[in-house]
Structure 1
Amino acid sequence: MMAARDPSAASARTADVMRTDVRSELEGGHCRHGDPSDSYEPKIRIRRNHREAMSTMHDISGVVRGFVEEVLNQGRIDAVDRFFRDDMVEHVPFPGQGSGLQGLKEVLREMRTAFPDMHWTIEEQLTERDRVLTRFEWTGTHRGAFLGVPATGRPVKVWGMVIDRVEEGRIKETRIIMDMLGLMMQLGAVLPPGQ
C-alpha cells in the first residue's frame, strides 16, 4: 500500500522553489534554481538599450519638429542657431543658397517674404541612429518674388523630404528634396507637360 501524500507539503515545496527562483533572479540575475547558465541579464540590458535608443530617436526627431514649428511655421528665422550647428552642411542647397547657417537663414527669409503665410506639416518621420528622414508638405500664398517669379497671389502646396543628421542635439548635415517643378507649375512659371 502506498502512503497518501500530503497536498499541503507539496504546495509548500513548490512555494519554496518559486521563492528561491525569484530570490536568485533578484540577487544574481539568474533563474531556474540559481543556474548561472540561464541569465536574464542580457534581456535586461537589451531592454535598457532599446529604451535609450527610443529616447535618442525621439530626441533627434524632436529637433526637426522643433525647427519646423518654431522657425518655418512661426517665422523665427534667428532661432535657426538653436537647431543647426554652426558648421552645418547643406548637401543639396536651394537654388542660390549660400553656405552654412547664414545661407540657410537667407533662403528662409526669402521664402517667408514670398510666402508670408507659409505653413509646414510633417507627414511622417523615420529615424535611424543619428539620422531623421522627414516627409513634409508646405502650403502658402505667393505674395512676393521667388526664384525670379514675381508675386502671383496663387496658393501653392509643395511636398518634399529631408534627411537630417543630428550631432550633439543640433542638425549637422541636411539633404532636402522638394518638388520644385510642381511649385513652378503652380506659380505658372512652367507649363504642365502636354500644354
Structure 2
Amino acid sequence: MTFVQLIECRTSRLDEMNRLMDRWVEQTKGKRTAMHSVVAKDRADASHVVEIVEFPSYEEAMRNSGLPETDRIFREMVALCDGEPTFTDLDVVRDEQLYAATARRFFELVAGQGEAPPFNDVFIEDYHDHDPANPQDVIGLDALRREVEVWRGGFDFSFTIEDQVAQEDRVCTRWSWKGHHKGDFLGIPPTGKDVTMTGTTVHRCTPDGKIAEGWWQYDRLGLMQQLGALDPLEL
C-alpha cells in the first residue's frame, strides 16, 4: 500500500530548510525511495511548516530513513526547528491520482507483440473484465493475458488516451485505438489494413492502486466493417 509520512515542525528559517531539502535530494540521488514530497506553510501561522512525503510502502520509507544521508540531514533539520519535529505515519486508503496512473499504465502495457506481460503490478489476481463483445466475462490474470494475446496476434496496435476522469475508486478513460491487421483475428485472415476504433473503459481500483474490475464500451462493429467482415447493410 502507498505510504505517506507527515512531518510537522515550527521554524523561522524556512529558506534554510528548503536549501537543506535540496541538498538531501542531491545527496540521496539514486538511493532515495521517496516518490513525491511537498513542503507547505500554514497560512494562519507562518512558523508552522508541514512536509508530506509519499513512499511506495512503509518498508521503503523505513529503508529511506536508514540512509546515512537521511540521518545527517535530519539532525541538521532539527537544528533549524523551534523544538522537535513530529512524524505521523499514514497508510493511503484512496488516491485517485494513483488509480488514474495505473489505468494509463495498463493502456501502455497492453500494446506490443507476442506473449502478454504479467500485469501483476497493474491488476489483482482475480481481476474481473466485462466486455459486451465476449459471451462470458474474463476473470483472472491468465484469462486476461489470453484475451490480450488474441489482439496482439491480430494487430500491431496502440492506444491514445483522449480523456481521463477519476472519482473515488473509479477511473473512466476515453481512448482511441489504431491497429495494423497483421494476423488472424477471430477467424478473419490478415488484410494488411490500417484500422481505427474509439471506446471508453471504466476501471475499479483497490486501495493499493491495482485494478480489480473493468467495463468496456467500444466500436467493435465498426472495426469489423473496416476489416471487411461485415456488409454495411448488416450494421
* TM beyond 0.5: yes
Correspondence for 1:178: 218
Are the structure 2 counterparts of residues 194 and 74 from structure 1 closer, same or farther at C-alpha, using a change threshold of 3 Å? closer
How many residues of Structure 1 are paired with residues of Structure 2 in the alignment? 145
Distance in 1, matches of 2:133 and 2:229, equals 17
Aligned counterpart for 2:144 among listed residues 104, 108, 112: 104
Distance in 2, matches of 1:92 and 1:194, equals 21
Q: Percent identity?
A: 33
Matches within 5 A, 1:1-195: 25-26=44-45, 56-69=95-108, 71-75=109-113, 77-92=116-131, 94-95=133-134, 98-115=138-155, 117-167=156-206, 168-193=208-233
Q: Is the 8 A contact 1:72 1:118 kept in 2?
A: no
Residue identity matched to 1:107: E
Greater than 6 Å deviation, 4+ residue runs: none
Distance in 2, matches of 1:138 and 1:184, equals 14
By how many angstroms is 1:113 displaced?
Answer: 1.1
Higher relative contact order (CA 8 A, sep 6+): 2
Distance in 2, matches of 1:57 and 1:183, equals 32
- Please give the root-mean-square deviation of Cα atoms over the aligned residues, in Å: 2.7
- 2:121 alignment partner, SS class: helix
Distance in 1, matches of 2:138 and 2:225, equals 25
Which consecutive residues of structure 2, in runs of 5 or more, have no partner in the other structure?
1-43, 47-91
> Relative to total residues, which structure has the larger strand share, 1 or 2?
2
Question: TM-score, structure 1 length as denominator?
Answer: 0.66
> Relative to total residues, which structure has the larger helix share, 1 or 2?
1
Which consecutive residues of structure 1, in runs of 5 or more, have no partner in the other structure?
1-24, 28-51
Residue identity matched to 1:57: E
Correspondence for 1:3: none
Whose Rg is larger?
1
Distance in 1, matches of 2:227 and 2:166, equals 33
By how many angstroms is 1:91 displaced?
Answer: 2.4
